[in-house]
């Protein structure tokens, strides 16, 4: 099995668990306590030397003697090798931190699945009252229309309104500049 070292986001971990990782690669983040303890048996007091590094890589590649032990497993959270010293040899994570992190991950995954199967409806907004998909779009709710319009159109000030009022009295309503006649019939 090929080994590579990356720290991994939770999403990526989930992807890998779902079999989306195309290569035979194990990704590593921080080793848990149990994994560190197990690795210490091999590197002992080598310190941060090239030998220690090489030994650790061999360990990750399962190339060291002793790891055929039935009690030696990969932690289901941090993915490093560790040795299960529990009585029944039935633990899956190398330490308490990893166990809890793993549980959190599973819960999250369940929530995500649930969300996928049973998506929450999107919150209704004022824009939903606008029937835009027909030839003559309209608002089905006036309050929504006004609220939406106010976001784009500044209301006129008093002076402008006065001015428009005067203009309307002279020329009539609308944009055409046709002077209204005295009798209202255009002559
Ligand atoms: Zn672990």
C-alpha 7 – ligand 1 centre gap (Å): 14
pTM score over 0.75: no
Per-residue pLDDT at 10: 59
C-alpha 37 – ligand 1 centre gap (Å): 11
Per-residue pLDDT at 133: 82
C-alpha 56 – ligand 1 centre gap (Å): 15
C-alpha 128 – ligand 1 centre gap (Å): 49
Q: How far is CA 38 from CA 6, 42, 43, 185, in A?
A: 20, 8, 10, 102
Q: Do 77 and 99 form a contact (C-beta atoms < 8 A)?
A: yes
Q: C-alpha dihedral over 96, 100, 106, 110, to 10 degrees?
A: 150
What percent of the chain is predicted at pLDDT more than 70? 75
C-alpha 91 – ligand 1 centre gap (Å): 11
Taking 70 as the threshold, does the pLDDT of residue 86 lie above it?
yes
C-alpha 67 – ligand 1 centre gap (Å): 16
C-alpha 116 – ligand 1 centre gap (Å): 29
Q: Do 75 and 94 form a contact (C-beta atoms < 8 A)?
A: yes
Q: Do 27 and 12 form a contact (C-beta atoms < 8 A)?
A: yes
Q: Are strands 81-83 and 130-131 parallel, antiparallel or unpaired?
A: unpaired
Taking 80 as the threshold, does the pLDDT of residue 27 lie above it?
no
Give the phi and the psi of residue 72 in degrees, each rounded to 5.
-90, 125
In terms of DSSP H, where are the helices of 26-177?
Answer: 33-43, 50-60, 96-117, 142-150, 158-171
C-alpha 51 – ligand 1 centre gap (Å): 23
**CA-based R_g, the chain, Å:** 36
C-alpha 78 – ligand 1 centre gap (Å): 4
C-alpha 112 – ligand 1 centre gap (Å): 23
Per-residue pLDDT at 5: 41
pLDDT digits (tens, 9 = 90+) for 125-139: 888 888 888 888 888
C-alpha 66 – ligand 1 centre gap (Å): 19
| pLDDT-based confidence at residue 175 (cuts at 50, 70, 90) | low
Per-residue pLDDT at 135: 84
C-alpha 73 – ligand 1 centre gap (Å): 10
What angle is formed at CA 17 by the lines to CA 89 and CA 85, rounded to 5 degrees? 15
Both tokens assigned to 187: 């002559």
Q: Do 33 and 78 form a contact (C-beta atoms < 8 A)?
A: no
Give CA–CA dist 6/12, Å, rounded.
11
More confident residue, 24 or 182: 182
Instruction: Supply the mean pLDDT for the chain.
Output: 79
């Amino acid at each position: 099995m090929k080994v590579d070292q990356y720290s991994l986001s939770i999403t990526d971990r989930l992807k890998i668990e779902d079999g989306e990782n195309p290569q035979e690669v194990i990704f590593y983040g921080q080793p848990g306590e149990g994994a560190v303890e197990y690795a210490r048996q091999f590197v002992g007091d080598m310190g941060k030397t090239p030998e220690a590094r090489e030994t650790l890589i061999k360990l990750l590649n399962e190339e060291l003697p002793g790891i055929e032990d039935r009690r030696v497993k990969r932690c289901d959270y941090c993915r490093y090798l560790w040795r299960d010293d529990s009585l029944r040899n039935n633990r899956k994570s190398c330490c308490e931190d990893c166990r809890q992190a793993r549980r959190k991950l599973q819960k999250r995954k369940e929530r995500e699945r649930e969300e996928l199967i049973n998506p929450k409806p999107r919150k209704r907004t004022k824009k939903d009252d606008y029937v835009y998909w027909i030839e003559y779009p309209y608002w089905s709710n006036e309050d929504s229309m006004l609220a939406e319009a106010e976001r784009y159109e500044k209301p006129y000030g008093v002076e402008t309104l006065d001015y428009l009022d005067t203009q309307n009295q002279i020329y009539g309503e609308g944009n055409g500049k046709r002077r209204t006649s005295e009798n209202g019939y255009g002559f």
